[in-house]
Amino acid sequence: MYRTKISTASKVLFSLVLRNIQFSTRDWVASSKPQALGMVGKSHPQAALEAATLSQSIHKFTCYAILAMLLAFCFCGYAGGADAGRAGAGELELRVMSFNIRYGSANDGDNHWKKRREMVFDVIRDQQSDVVGLQEALRFQIDEIRKAVGVYGEIGVAREDGRIDGEYSAILYRADRFGVAEAGTFWLSDTPEVAGSNTWGNDCVRICTWARLIENKSGKTFYIFNTHLDHVSQPSREKSAVLIAQRIRSRNHRDPFVVTGDFNAGENNPVVTYLKGKTAADSAKTPVPMIDTFRVLHADVKDVRTGHAFRGGRQGHKIDYVLAPPGAKVLEAQILYDNVEGRYPSDHYPVTARLRLFTAMYPR
């Protein structure tokens, strides 16, 4: 619920009403005093009639005064609500991470989940991101991360059955800072609401998990969309990008948004150029062009590899992203190369961004 705040115009109107009441009161007192004095010495019926007339005048004046004050007060309340709405508009600073953590049941030998999970915990803990888009996360991995790090709530379902079977594109959010207003998952297929659906030739079932989060302290809101596009089918990736853009465009509220994900596509791939509004897909450009937060600050960096198969190195394509609307202010953006003696937390480097979104206050 908005707090009422009296605007300057309302204060002026209220002052004018009070002044008019004061002048009216002064005039009424001046005119009624002789009438009251004139009653002295008159007969009882005549005095009673004039007293009744005087009483009616007082009653009428009182009604007018009350009505004027009520109108002024209502106007003040209306203007105050509008001012409160404007006061809620402002900046929301976020730390965002996209992290493909490599599915924990893979037979990765020395890079098995049990031998690297502490590094994953450390990366997430040290970054203190407000939201983390995970890719390839299995149920037990999410549980272990949340237990180890402790501050995060979770949004998402597994891709195979819409419950717990298979990989998640889970969203972790700081539960001490945000609440969840809306959330869901849709499948990257011709039937987005059908769990496990796969109709675009992709090698694996693919999903996008999203949420609308509310900052507990300020009521400011934003959306996050997190996905993992197919590693084999380019047509599937392109159709997935179009569907995600459409879903962002049709979101229920015009709040700002961020997109995190492993796109399995380099920066010159039509999937990425479409999302950035540079090229068309299905004969149309995206309805919601985005910026690559990393490139806003590091336009000329050439060694940007993010998928490295546990071998490290920096030469190659960037396939992991944090995207945002063009109006966002990017303060920091990094590819994290954390390792312990050449051993890595995952086969992907996490990517991060610190940015300011411009948002409207959520009316509570």
pLDDT per position as a tens digit, 10-55: 444 344 434 544 444 444 444 544 444 444 444 454 544 454 454 5
pLDDT value of position 88: 41
Instruction: Give the contacts of 331 (CB within 8 A, at least 6 positions apart).
Output: 93, 354, 355, 356
Residue 73 reports pLDDT greater than 60: no
Tell me the whole-structure pTM to 2 decimals: 0.77
Instruction: Give the contacts of 96 (CB within 8 A, at least 6 positions apart).
Output: 129, 130, 131, 132, 133, 224, 258, 260, 293, 322, 352, 353, 354, 355
Beta strands in 49-187 (DSSP E): 90-100, 131-135, 152-155, 171-174, 178-187
Q: Which two tokens stand for residue 359?
A: 């948002």
pLDDT value of position 89: 57
Beta strands in 175-303 (DSSP E): 178-187, 207-215, 221-228, 257-262, 291-292
Beta strands in 188-282 (DSSP E): 207-215, 221-228, 257-262
pLDDT value of position 82: 35
Mean pLDDT of the chain: 84
- Write out pLDDT tens, residues 264-318: 999 999 999 999 999 999 889 999 999 999 999 999 999 999 999 999 999 999 9
Reported as a pLDDT band with limits 50, 70 and 90, residue 360 is low
3-state SS class at 68: helix
Using CA atoms, how far apart are residues 310 and 345, in angstroms rounded to an integer? 8
CA dihedral 290, 152, 207, 193 (to 10 degrees): -110
Using CA atoms, how far apart are residues 213 and 216, in angstroms rounded to an integer? 9
pLDDT value of position 282: 85
Q: Which two tokens stand for residue 231?
A: 């590693």
What is the pLDDT averaged over residues 215-223? Answer: 97
Using CA atoms, how far apart are residues 177 and 154, in angstroms rounded to an integer? 13
3-state SS class at 233: coil
3-state SS class at 314: coil
- Write out pLDDT tens, residues 30-42: 454 444 444 444 4
Question: Up-side HSE of residue 161: CA atoms within 13 Å toward CB?
Answer: 6
Give strand pairing partners of 324: 291
